[in-house]
Amino acid sequence: MANTTPLYALHRELDAKIVEFANYQMPLNYPSGIITEHRQVRESAGLFDVSHMGQIKVTGDSAAESLESLLPTDLSTLDVGRQRYSFLTLDTGGILDDLMISRFEDHYLLVVNASNKHQDFDHIAGSLPADCTAELLDNRSLLALQGPLSREVMSRLCPDLRTMRFMDTMDTEVEGIKCQAFCSGYTGEDGFELATNYDDALKLAQLLLDQTEVQPVGLGARDSLRLEAGLCLHGNDIHPNTTPVAAGLTWAIPASRRKGGSKSGGFPGSEPILLELENGSSLTRVGIQPEGRAPVRAHCEIVIPTGESIGEVSSGGYGPTVGRPIAMGYVKSTYSHLGTELRAIVRDKPLSVKICHLPFVQHNYKRH
C-alpha cells in the first residue's frame, strides 16, 4: 500500500486528484487545474507538499571528507548557512541520484529524490567511517512555497527570512513552528522550502494557505514548471546511464575536483567523468522546440531529416508560460547546436523540431 504524507487528509479536503508517485499518494492537481496552478506559481505564490522527498542527516568529525568521497563537490567551500546542488555518482560515471546538500552548524543535510531515498541512504551510510552517522529523517515534512510573492508572504510570517538569498539556509521559527528554511526550489522562481516535524506540517501548511497570495499546487504543475525552467528530473532526464557531462551539469563540479585540482577525482566514476570533461560527451542534453501545437513526450525518437536516429526526448509537454509545447532530450553532440532542425517521431509520424536554448523561462532567483 502506498505511503501518505501528513497533508494527505488536507489534499482530500481540497478535492485534489490523487495519484501514486514514488510509492506515495500525492496530489496531481486541484480543481482549478494544472495550467491555473502553474500560472499561480509564475505570478503569485503556490504551495507544494514535497514531504515524500528524502532528508538524510550526516554528522561526524570526518563528515565533509566522507561525503566528498561520494559527491563531486568541495565541501570546504560550503559555508554554514548555505546549500548547493550535487549528485551521487556511480563507478561508471552515471548519476545514481541528484540532490541538495546543506551545511548546518553540526551536520550536513541532504535532500534526495523520493523514489531513491532508501537506496541513497544505504549507499551513503554504507560508505561512512565509524566516526560518522547517517540518519534518514522519517519524521520530517517538506513544504515548498514558490513564486514571486512567496518572499512577501514569508517575510510577513517570519521576518528572519526577508534577507535570505538563493541557496541560503537557516534554522528558524514560522509563527512558533520550528523549521529549517532553504531559499531554493524546483520551479525557476524565487521561493522557500521549509522542513519541519511531521506533527507540525499540517499547521504550517494551513498557515501558508491562509495567506491571500497562496494557493495549493500539485505534481502536475510542478513538472511543467521545472520543465520550463530546464531542470532535470531524475529517472527522466538523468539516471544511472547518464553522465553529468552529457546532462550539462558540469557547472556543479568545481575546479578543485577536476583534473589538476587540489582535490582532483576521488569520487565514484571520477575517471570516466573527468575524461569526458576533457574530451566531450557523445550525447548532449538539449532544449527542443516542436513546430506547431502537438506535444512531444518522453521517449519520442529524434531523427535527422534522412531518418537516422540520433537521440530521444527525455521530458516533454505543454509550457503554459511560453504558450507552446516544449521538450528536453539527448542528441548526438554533433547535432546539438542551436537552431539545428530535426524530427521527432510522434505516433509514428515525423514532427519538425529544432534545438533551442535552455531554460525556456528565465530563472527569477534572488541572488543579492
Please state, in angstroms and rounded to a whole number, the distance separating the CA atoms of residues 351 and 342: 8
pLDDT of residue 1: 81
Q: Over the chain, what HEC string results? A: CCECCCCHHHHHHCCCEEEEECCEEEEEECCCCHHHHHHHHHHCEEEEECCCCEEEEEEECCHHHHHHCCCCCCHHHCCCCEEEEEEEECCCCCEEEEEEEEECCCCEEEEECHHHHHHHHHHHHCCCCCCEEEEECCCEEEEEEECCCHHHHHHHHCHHHHHCCCCEEEEEEECCEEEEEECCCCCCCCEEEEEEEHHHHHHHHHHHHCCCCEEECCHHHHHHHHHHCCCCCECCCECCCCCCCCCCCHHHCCHHHCCCCCCCCCCCCHHHHHHHHHHCCCEEEEEEEECCCCCCCCCCEEECCCCCEEEEEEEEEEECCCCEEEEEEEEEHHHCCCCCEEEEEECCEEEEEEEECCCCCCCCCCCC
pLDDT tens for the chain, 368 residues long, are 899 999 999 999 999 999 999 999 999 999 999 999 999 999 999 999 999 999 999 999 999 999 999 999 999 999 999 999 999 999 999 999 999 999 999 999 999 999 999 999 999 999 999 999 999 999 999 999 999 999 999 999 999 999 999 999 999 999 999 999 999 999 999 999 999 999 999 999 999 999 999 999 999 999 999 999 999 999 999 999 999 999 999 999 999 999 999 999 999 999 999 999 999 999 999 999 999 999 999 999 999 999 999 999 999 999 999 999 999 999 999 999 999 999 999 999 999 999 999 999 999 999 98
Whole-angstrom Cα Rg for the chain: 21
Q: What is the pLDDT of residue 189?
A: 98
| Domain 282-368 class in CATH | mainly beta
Q: Global pTM?
A: 0.97
Residue 109 pairs in a beta bridge with 57, 102
Q: Which amino acid is at 116?
A: N
Confidence at residue 292, expressed as pLDDT on a 0 to 100 scale: 93
CATH code given to domain 8-53+139-228: 3.30.1360.120
Q: How far is 363 from 99, CA to CA, in rounded Å?
A: 19
Extract the C-alpha cell encoding 353: 523540431
User: Where do the domains of the chain lie?
Assistant: 8-53+139-228, 282-368
Residue written as grid cell 507540525:
200
Q: How many CB atoms sit inside 10 A of residue 341's CB?
A: 12
Dist CA 125 CA 58 (whole Å): 9
Per-residue pLDDT at 368: 86
Which three three-digit cell numbers place residue 196? 519541519
Q: What angle do CA 324, 327, 333 make, to 5 degrees?
A: 135
